[in-house]
Amino acid sequence: MSDNGRARRVAITGIGAITPIGLTREGLWDGIRAERSAVREVTRFDASPFRTRIAAEVNDFHAEDHIEARRVRRLDRFGQFSVAAARMAIEDSQLNLAVENCERVGAMMGSALAGVGYAEAQLANFITQGLRAVDATLALAVFGGASSCNIAIEFGVTGPNSTNAMSCASGTMAIGEALRQIRHGYADVMIAGGAEAPLAPLSYGAFALIRAMSTRNDDPARASRPFDRDRDGFVMGEAASVLVLEEWERAKSRGAHIYAELCGYGTTNDAHHMTAPLPSGAQAARAMRMALDDAHVAPGEIMYVNAHGSSTPLNDPSETLALKSVFGEHVSRLAVSGTKGFYGHALGASGAIEAAICALALEREWLPPTVNLDIADAACDLDFIPRTGRAGRPEHVMSNSFGFGGINACLVMRRAS
Query: Residue 3 domain-assigned?
Result: no
Query: Residue 1 domain-assigned?
Result: no
Tell me the average pLDDT of the chain: 96
Residue 174: closest CA among 155, 161, 185 = 161
Rg (CA), the chain: 20
- Using an 8 Å Cβ cutoff, are 350 and 194 in contact? yes
Whether the per-residue pLDDT at 273 is higher than 80: the answer is: yes
Confidence of residue 5 (pLDDT cuts 50, 70, 90): low
Could you tell me if 249 and 299 lie in one domain? no
> Into how many domains does the chain fold?
2
Residue 314: closest CA among 210, 194, 171, 202 = 210
The residue from 66, 149, 168, 396 that is catalytic is 168
Query: Residue 2 domain-assigned?
Result: no
Strand-strand pairing, 366-367 and 239-247: unpaired
Confidence of residue 311 (pLDDT cuts 50, 70, 90): very high
Residue 343: closest CA among 37, 92, 69, 98 = 37
Could you tell me if 100 and 237 lie in one domain? yes
Q: In terms of residues, how long is the chain?
A: 417
CA–CA separation, 179 vs 190, rounded Å? 8
pLDDT for position 294: 98
Strand-strand pairing, 189-196 and 54-55: unpaired
- Residue where a domain terminates, one of 204, 221, 253: 253
Query: Residue 86 domain-assigned?
Result: yes
Taking residues 269-275, report their average pLDDT: 95
Beta pairing partners, 77: none
The residue from 345, 358, 380, 410 that is catalytic is 345
Taking residues 301-317, report their average pLDDT: 97
Taking residues 362-378, report their average pLDDT: 98
CA–CA separation, 202 vs 205, rounded Å? 5
Confidence of residue 251 (pLDDT cuts 50, 70, 90): very high
Confidence of residue 141 (pLDDT cuts 50, 70, 90): confident
The residue from 149, 263, 308, 358 that is catalytic is 308
The runs of H, that is alpha helices, within 17-93 are 25-34, 69-72, 77-93
Q: Which residues contact 97 (CB under 8 A, 6 or more apart)?
A: 90, 105, 155, 156, 157
Rounded to the nearest 10 degrees, how much is the dihedral formed by the CA atoms of 371, 375, 379, 385?
A: 40
Query: Residue 270 domain-assigned?
Result: yes
Please give the DSSP secondary-structure letter assigned to residue 24: S
Could you tell me if 190 and 318 lie in one domain? no
Whether the per-residue pLDDT at 134 is higher than 70: the answer is: yes
Confidence of residue 6 (pLDDT cuts 50, 70, 90): low
Could you tell me if 92 and 153 lie in one domain? yes
273 tagged catalytic: no
pLDDT digits (tens, 9 = 90+) for 96-125: 999 999 999 999 999 999 999 999 999 999
pLDDT digits (tens, 9 = 90+) for 39-54: 999 999 999 999 999 9
Residue 228: closest CA among 365, 340, 112, 68 = 340
Taking residues 332-349, report their average pLDDT: 98
Could you tell me if 246 and 272 lie in one domain? no
Taking residues 354-358, report their average pLDDT: 98
Domain that holds residue 390: 265-415
Residue 124: closest CA among 134, 114, 115 = 134
Whether the per-residue pLDDT at 2 is higher than 80: the answer is: no
CATH code of residue 407: 3.40.47.10
Whether the per-residue pLDDT at 4 is higher than 90: the answer is: no
Could you tell me if 281 and 238 lie in one domain? no
- Residue where a domain terminates, one of 196, 222, 253: 253
Could you tell me if 91 and 137 lie in one domain? yes
Query: Residue 259 domain-assigned?
Result: no
- Residue where a domain terminates, one of 204, 233, 253: 253
Could you tell me if 324 and 348 lie in one domain? yes
Taking residues 330-351, report their average pLDDT: 98
Tell me the whole-structure pTM to 2 decimals.
0.97
- Using an 8 Å Cβ cutoff, are 213 and 359 in contact? no
Handedness of CA 337, 342, 343, 347 (dihedral sign): positive
Taking residues 22-28, report their average pLDDT: 98
Residue 365: closest CA among 412, 408, 304, 320 = 304
Confidence of residue 135 (pLDDT cuts 50, 70, 90): very high
Among 4-8, 168-172, 374-378, 382-386, where is mean pLDDT lowest? 4-8
Could you tell me if 237 and 325 lie in one domain? no
Whether the per-residue pLDDT at 291 is higher than 60: the answer is: yes
345 tagged catalytic: yes
Phi (first) and psi of residue 261, to 5 degrees: -100, 130
